[in-house]
Amino acid sequence: MHGNFEHPFIKFNRTMIAQKSFKIIVVFALALIPLFSFSQEEGSIIKEKAEKFNATDMIMHHIGDSHGWHFFGSGENSFTIPLPVILFTDNGMVSFMSSEFHHDTEGEYIVEKDGMQFVNYHEKIYRLDEGAASLNFDEDHNAVNASKPWDFSITKNVAAMFLTVILMLLFFFSLARYHKKNTAAPSGFNNAMEALVLFVRDEIAIPQIGEKKYMKFMPFLLTVFFFIWITNILGLLPGAANVTGNIAVTVSLGLFTLALIIVNGNREFWKHTFWMPGIPTFVKPILAIVEVMGLIIKPLALMIRLFANITAGHIIILSLLGLIFILESAGVAGISVPFALFITVLELLVAFLQAFIFTILSALFIGMAVAEHEHH
């Protein structure tokens, strides 16, 4: 949409992947043999329970959010970290641990709190109406005897987000602490982090926003870059959450960019948005509509790009592994696991790339909003 897919960085990546992909596949295939068997085990349990393996359900379950952090196993035998469920109902706030649902996501296990009954149906919490014994749906799949309370639970994605925050605070407070004591350049991990900070400053902020004004936006750009990058990488770990592949997260991030554009846009930016100079008057209102749409589409494109790229990567990996269970043959693993590994390695690059693209486009949009236009 913005022509950034021709960025030299991507080209470089493509060549690199082409040259090294074979080696990477072989090395990772050998390194991940233990996981291989783990996948099969998980699959067999799923099959036992569901009789027939449903790939869509499996994938949607993995890329979606949930109230507990599930690692392996199923039903009462699954290993799941319970997370707090926080609900706002008409009768006030209710909170309990997700473990009280006993791993049930089919709306069967009823939790009673403060005289209210709650069920977890496909990771959505419903409050059963007075006297209802079980959750019922009509043809349009709307609950007929239950209501949805405001759900502000610490879900798996929120917990994963906290993990990213903790890692970022650890990494960068350590770097900041180093700088308080030393004047020389840091070494090791601190140095790597500092190099990335400088990358954001020198390759993203200064070229897009300009030497004069970039400093004001550095906290946002650095935070958004490292937040997306670290979250993306954590999302690739087995059992991890798909945070940046969740539309709610990217909507929030995109709105931050939009807010910065709106708050920091200068007089000329708004003039060019609503009353473009240098064109016939009757065209101006039409162009204003286009410009306002553009203003909204810019962050919308950001949020969709990040969400779609990360989710797509996860879906591809899960689909390739799902092939094993669809075809009900362990032999397929010989093909689908190396492919899934190849995609995983590709996702490592995508993790960085999407963080880079989100940050550079945010910087570009902000730069456009604060630019001092030359008068024609």
Q: Which one of the spans 27-35, 75-83, 168-176, 261-269 is the region binding other proteins (CB under 8 A)?
A: 168-176
Q: 3-state SS of the chain?
A: CCCHHHCHHHHHHHHHHHHHHHHHHHHHHHHCHHHHHHHHHHHHHHHHHHCCCCHHHHHHHHHCCCCEEEEECCHHHCEEEECEEEEEECCEEEEEEHHHHCCCCECCCCEEECCEEEEEECCEEEEECCCCCCCCECCCCCECCEECCEECCCCHHHHHHHHHHHHHHHHHHHHHHHHHHCCCCCCHHHHHHHHHHHHHHHHHHHHHHCCCCHHHHHHHHHHHHHHHHHHHHHHCCCCCCCCCCCHHHHHHHHHHHHHHHHHHCCHHHHHHHHCCCCCCHHHHHHHHHHHHHHHHHHHHHHHHHHHHHHHHHHHHHHHHHHHHHHCCCHHHHHHHHHHHHHHHHHHHHHHHHHHHHHHHHHHHHHHHHHCCCCCC
Q: Which one of the spans 96-104, 127-135, 166-174, 283-291 is the region binding other proteins (CB under 8 A)?
A: 166-174
- Closer Cβ to other proteins, 160 or 361, answer by number: 160
Q: Which of 141, 140, 100 has its CA nearest to residue 117?
A: 100
Per-residue mark of binding to other proteins, 214-253 (x: CB under 8 A): -x--xxx-xxx--x------------------xxxx-xxx
- Closer Cβ to other proteins, 220 or 325, answer by number: 220
- Closer Cβ to other proteins, 176 or 292, answer by number: 176
From residue 101, alpha-carbon distances to 26, 31, 83, 173, 368 in Å are 42, 36, 11, 38, 50
List 128, 168, 240, 341, residue binding other proteins (CB under 8 A): 168
Q: How far is the CB of 305 from other proteins (least distance, A)?
A: 14
Interactions with other proteins, residue window 125-164 (CB under 8 A)? 150-155, 157-158, 161-162
Q: How far is the CB of 251 from other proteins (least distance, A)?
A: 5
- Rounded to the nearest 10 degrees, how much is the dihedral formed by the CA atoms of 220, 221, 224, 225? -160
**Does residue 72 bind other proteins (CB under 8 A)?**
no
Interactions with other proteins, residue window 171-190 (CB under 8 A)? 172-173, 175-176, 179-180, 183-185
- Closer Cβ to other proteins, 71 or 173, answer by number: 173
> Residue 232 and residue 277: Cα distance in Å, rounded?
42
Interactions with other proteins, residue window 312-371 (CB under 8 A)? none
Q: How far is the CB of 255 from other proteins (least distance, A)?
A: 8
Q: How far is the CB of 65 from other proteins (least distance, A)?
A: 6
Per-residue mark of binding to other proteins, 270-309 (x: CB under 8 A): ----------------------------------------
CB atoms within 10 A of CB 366: 25
Q: Which one of the spans 17-25, 192-200, 343-351, 361-369 is the region binding other proteins (CB under 8 A)?
A: 192-200
- Closer Cβ to other proteins, 193 or 341, answer by number: 193
**Does residue 256 bind other proteins (CB under 8 A)?**
yes
- Closer Cβ to other proteins, 39 or 164, answer by number: 164
Q: How far is the CB of 335 from other proteins (least distance, A)?
A: 27
**Does residue 60 bind other proteins (CB under 8 A)?**
yes
- Residues found near other proteins in the complex (CB under 8 A): 60, 63-65, 86, 122, 150-155, 157-158, 161-162, 165, 168-169, 172-173, 175-176, 179-180, 183-185, 194, 197-198, 201, 215, 218-220, 222-224, 227, 246-249, 251-253, 255-256, 311
